[in-house]
Amino acid sequence: MTLATTWYSGAAVTLPAGKWLVIAQVHCTNGANQPAITTGINDGGADVASNSMTGDAVSWSRPLRMHAVVTPTGSTTYTARAQSASTGSQIDSSRISALRLN
């Protein structure tokens, strides 16, 4: 993440109307003594789920997982994303999937 406090998009899925369970994972690496990384599942306007991992005295590389039940009324794209308050963090990979509930 080359710009601090900027959201970086990862994997995305577009869903038709209905009730869905959306599951996402963003695998991030954070340098030593860096601030927290925040992740989210975004529907184009707001996060429907989020997670964060605080900074640490040592570097770490971990998956941050999220899930949400959503009910879009029309075609909606959900995107896994992440941001950090510093430039010493990175997104290694991301994935997102959905399961229809109705």
Domain ranges of the chain: 8-100
At residue 48 the predicted structure's pLDDT band, cuts being 50, 70 and 90, is: very high
pLDDT above 80 (res 23):
yes
At residue 2 the predicted structure's pLDDT band, cuts being 50, 70 and 90, is: confident
At residue 32 the predicted structure's pLDDT band, cuts being 50, 70 and 90, is: confident
Question: What are the structure tokens assigned to 65, written together?
Answer: 């997982």
Q: Mean pLDDT across the stretch 67-95?
A: 94
CB atoms within 10 A of CB 32: 11
Question: What are the structure tokens assigned to 7, written together?
Answer: 């959201």
Query: pTM above 0.95?
Result: no
- The three-point CA angle 53-25-22 to 5° equals 120
Asked if 64 and 47 touch (Cβ cutoff 8 Å), the reply is no
For the 8-100 domain, the top CATH level (class) is: mainly beta
